[in-house]
Structure formats: structure tokens, C-alpha cells
Amino acid sequence: MAIAVAATAANLYYNQPLLAEMAGSLGVSQGMIGLIPSATQFGYAAAILLISPLGDTMDRRQLIRNLSITLALASLGIFLAPSFWPLLLASFVAGLGANITQQLIPLTASLSSPEARGKNIATLMTGLTIGILLSRTLSGSIGGYWGWRSVFLVAAIITVIIGVLLHRHLPSRSPAVQMAYPRLIASMGTLFKQHALLRESALTGALWFAAFNAMWATLAIHVTDAPFDYSVQQAGLFGIIGLAGIFGAKAAGRLVNRVGAGRLISFALVMVLASFAVLAMWGDSLAGLIVGIILLDLGVFAAQIPNQVRVFSIDPKAQSRMNAVYMLCYYLGAAAGSAIGVKMMSVYGWQGMSLFGLALAAVALVHHGVKQRRSASSSQ
């Protein structure tokens, strides 16, 4: 399941190291090509809103089969896209199909005991980390040799293989609840209003993930320009540095029950804040980029595990919908962060993007700290 999460999540990020090459191939501006990663993220967010809740009322095995078909066809659509607008549409549909990830994570939570939930989710999040970060290395390497279109042909093949394996090996499970689709979707709003912890987790996560995607959506543009002048393949290799996030995810999975989710998130957000300070001051040097990326990925994935564990603990019968609300906010933040980050980069340069990420991290830390203090006061 962790391997499937890695292979699926990678589809959300294959395009990021390829943006400069895509823009040149299709004859569009850097600002315009920034809509491509945003379209994928918005598609993913739409699937979280409209498809993820079905995991509470349908057999997830069948749902994942249909999503695998959708993702494979969308990848072929990107491979064959003749111009910008078909590419934009296919990128959006790829985001819809990548909802496979958001079916596997709640399934893991439902199969786990409360004591093992943090560790098991951390295992899947390790796969997610690998998929997110190595996707850029893989796409940069393939794109460097055979062009950006070839990346999505490979993605379609991988999706077919993973889809077949999941269909053969996942268990069939009876739905947790019986509910009509309109009521199911509407119930997510009720859950959001009802649970203050869900609201706090969703907003804090959206802020730090917006900052994370602002950096990764602009990194390839930054390093393929002066003073670095790296190739697309070299830009993709920065994904290897981001594998530091694996250590953050694994450590958080072990510590969440011992330290407490709130404290762990606070510590992780301080790391995210520090990462953008480093990127703002020393982002024109290779050493500065490496240190900043390591701190960012450690912080983001160390925060994600405890945040998601506490969301899954709110209501066991509504885990898919709880996760849908949380991840909807999370990936809306990602889409906005990608689009605004590219725009900030085009207008104010790398330092402007870094200051934008710094501001988002600071707001997330303050918001989380205020909510933690209020929660502590009300429990006394």
C-alpha cells in the first residue's frame, strides 16, 4: 500500500521540474505555465471533495480500480496534448485520478488499532514522501533524456501496473455507513462546523503545505536560471535532498503518542519557518538550497503525521469524510501556494517567494499556538 501511495502521489508532482521545458515547447510564459501544477492540485482537491467521501459508503477496492483507469487515461492525455489548454484539462483529470492515495490512507487507519495507527500511517506517509520527492528526480531524469512528454507515458504504464496489483490484493470491506450521495457530501460541512479540532488541523495544514508547494513549484525555475544554470535533469535531482522528509515522517510516527500531537506540530512548524529564513538569505548558493530543502521537508512531514492522526481519531465512522475535509483544505492550500509562488517568483524573484513561504509558516505557527493554548485552558 505504501508503494501504491508513492506511485500515485508522484503524478501530482511530475510536472514541476518540467515547467520551463513545457513553457518553451508550447510557447507560453512562465506565469501561464504555473497553471499546470495548480490544475493538477485543484483536480486533486476536487476529488477529495467529491470522491474521497465515497470511501465511507462504497467498497474502496472498486473505487480504487475506477480511479486507476481515470489516472492512466489522464496521463496518456498529457502525453498526447497538442497545446496548452488540452494539457491543462488532462492535468486536472490526473489530479482527480490521483485520489487513490486518499482512499488508501483512511483504509489503513480503519484497519489499524489506535496504538498502531500512528506507526502505520507513518509507513504510508513514508511512501507518500518518497513519491512526492522522487517524482521530481524521475521526471527530471526521463525528461532530460527523452523530453517532457515521455514522463507521462511512463506514468500511465506505472499506474496500470499498480492498479492491477491493488485490485488483486486489497481486501473488500463493507461500507461504514449507508447514506445518499448528496447527504454524504453535505455531511462534510456539518463535520467541519461540529469539530473545532478538524478546523484547526485543516487550516494549519493548508498553510504549511501552501508554503511547501510554493518552494517546490519554483525550484526548477530558480536553478535552471542564473546563477546555477542547471539542466532539467539536474533540477530533478533536488528531489533526492528532499528525501529527508522520510526521517521526519518516521520519527513523528514513533513520537506522536509519547510527545503529543500538538507539541510535535509546533516543533515541526519552527523547522518550516527556519527553512524559509535560510532559503531567503542563502538561496542563491547550493549549500543554502540544500539546508533549506532539508529543513522544509523534515518539518512538513513531521507535522503531517500527528496532524492526520488526530483527525482520524475524531470519529472512526467518518474517517473518509474527516480525511476529505482535512485534505481538501490541504490541497487547496497546495494549489494556491503553487500558483502564487510562481507569480511571486516571476515578479519578485526567489527571495520574494521565500518571504511568501516564511509568512505562511509564521501564520501557521501562530494559529496553531493560539488554538493549543485555548484548548489547554478549556480542559483545565
Cell of 8: 500515485
Confidence of residue 38 (pLDDT cuts 50, 70, 90): confident
Confidence of residue 308 (pLDDT cuts 50, 70, 90): confident
Region of 238 please: left (phi>0), alpha (psi -120 to 50) or beta: alpha
227 preceded by a cis bond (ω within 30 of 0): yes
Confidence of residue 63 (pLDDT cuts 50, 70, 90): very high
**CATH homologous superfamily of 2-379:** MFS general substrate transporter like domains (1.20.1250.20)
Tell me, rounded to whole angstroms, the distance of Cα 154 from its chain centroid: 21
Per-residue pLDDT at 349 exceeds 90: yes
Per-residue pLDDT at 379 exceeds 70: no
When comparing pLDDT for 64 and 234, which is higher?
A: 64
When comparing pLDDT for 261 and 165, which is higher?
A: 165
Percent of the chain exceeding pLDDT 90 equals 54
Return the domain boundaries, the chain. 2-379
Note the pLDDT tens digit of each residue in 195-213. 999 999 999 999 999 999 9
pLDDT given at position 284? 94
Note the pLDDT tens digit of each residue in 142-151. 998 899 999 9
- CA atoms of 2 and 34, how far apart (whole Å): 29
Best-predicted range by mean pLDDT among 144-148, 238-242, 264-268? 264-268
Number of Cβ atoms within 10 Å of the Cβ of 16? 26
- CA atoms of 72 and 76, how far apart (whole Å): 6
Q: Which of 205-209, 263-267, 307-311 has the lowest average pLDDT?
A: 307-311
Burial of 258 (0-12, 13-18, 19+ CB in 10 A): exposed
Per-residue pLDDT at 312 exceeds 60: yes
Note the pLDDT tens digit of each residue in 158-191. 999 999 999 999 988 777 678 889 999 999 999 9
| DSSP state for residue 285 in the 8-state scheme | S
Per-residue pLDDT at 277 exceeds 90: yes
pLDDT given at position 378? 61
Sequence-distant (6+) residues with CB within 8 A of 290 are: 241
pLDDT given at position 340? 93
Note the pLDDT tens digit of each residue in 368-378. 999 888 876 66
Number of Cβ atoms within 10 Å of the Cβ of 109? 24
When pLDDT is averaged across residues 312-320 and rounded to a whole number, the result is 84
Confidence of residue 153 (pLDDT cuts 50, 70, 90): very high
- Provide the mean pLDDT of the chain: 89
pLDDT given at position 315? 85
pLDDT given at position 377? 64
Per-residue pLDDT at 230 exceeds 60: yes
pLDDT given at position 206? 95
Best-predicted range by mean pLDDT among 39-48, 154-163, 306-315, 336-345? 154-163
